Structure 1
Amino acid sequence: MAFASLTSSRRTPRPEINVVPLVDVMLVMLVIFIITAPLLTHAVKIDLPKASSQPNVTRAGHVEVALCADGSLFWNGESISEEQLPARFAGAAQLTPQPEIHFRGDEAVPYGRVARAMAAAARAGLTRIGFLTSPTTAK
């Protein structure tokens, strides 16, 4: 004889979210971002001696220091040696007002020579230091 149960034998469906497709889509998107992220970085190539600028109007109180690729050094057009450069900077630092120091470096001059000349100017107490470049022609 069959007895009727007090509880219902029929189960009602419980709503559940199926997350497997969501996880699959997220993993595919993660792989796509991992692959494409390095492609979005751009390297900037620069050529320091060239600049697009307006011609510099120089005032009376300036000194041009030219560094040439062959190792020669010029102070306002006068050829000097590297040993004379710190003494010239010290003399220019004593002037009132201090002159602007304009460095004109050839493209083939190693950066170390320019850095040593700038350091000598800074040690002498000169604070107004700039670089001269040739303006590019507008096309």
Structure 2
Amino acid sequence: MGMQLGSGGASADPEVMIEMNMTPLIDVMLVLIIMLIITIPIQNHAINLNMPTGPSPPPPVEPIVVNIDVDFDGTVLWDGVAVNPGELDAKLQAAASAAVQPEVHLRPVAVVPYKSVAAVMAAAQRKGVTKIGMVGNEQFLK
């Protein structure tokens, strides 16, 4: 990168420089990189979201849960109280006509006949109960 001095010989011709001068090449490369950086458009990785305005909605209300147990002899228990078929129909009708229907959890014991459980489910369907589910099915897995 500096000047090359002669060997002190008598010849007046300068010696041939074998190395290439890299300074101008590096300068040109730096200018090209800067121009490339300047000309690249700015990438916006923005996602437009429509955020709600105004007050937040009230927290969800916990659902009312009604437990219907069907015992081994076909006895139907409404939240732990034994009911006959007429009372069951009346309670199911009241649950179906409520403003917010309660969740009905049907829990039969493992040895109950199917017809007893099917009768409760059919009564619930006739009365218009839509939120009904079977609970405790793990007892039937063997």
TM-score, normalised with respect to structure 1: 0.52
RMSD over aligned Cα atoms: 1.7
**Secondary structure of the structure 2 residue equivalent to 1:84:** helix
Identical counterparts, % of pairs: 36
Which of 127, 130, 137 in structure 2 is aligned with 1:127? 130
3-state SS in 1 of match to 2:120: helix
Which string of whole-angstrom CA distances, capped at 9 and with x for unpartnered residues, describes residues 7-27 of structure 1? xxxxxxxxxxxxxxxxxxxxx
SS of alignment partner, residue 117 of structure 2: helix
Q: Residues 114 and 135 from structure 1, CA distance in 2 versus in 1: closer, same or farther, beyond 3 angstroms?
A: closer
**Which of structures 1 and 2 has the bigger CA Rg?**
2
Give the distance between the partners of 1:108 and 1:71, measured in 2 at CA: 10
**Higher RCO (C-alpha under 8 Å, 6+ residues apart):** 1
Superposed, 1:1-139 pairs within 5 Å as: 59-133=62-136
Report the CA distance between 1:79 and its aligned residue: 1.4
Q: How far apart are the structure 1 equivalents of 2:86 and 2:130?
A: 21
TM-score normalised per structure 2: 0.51
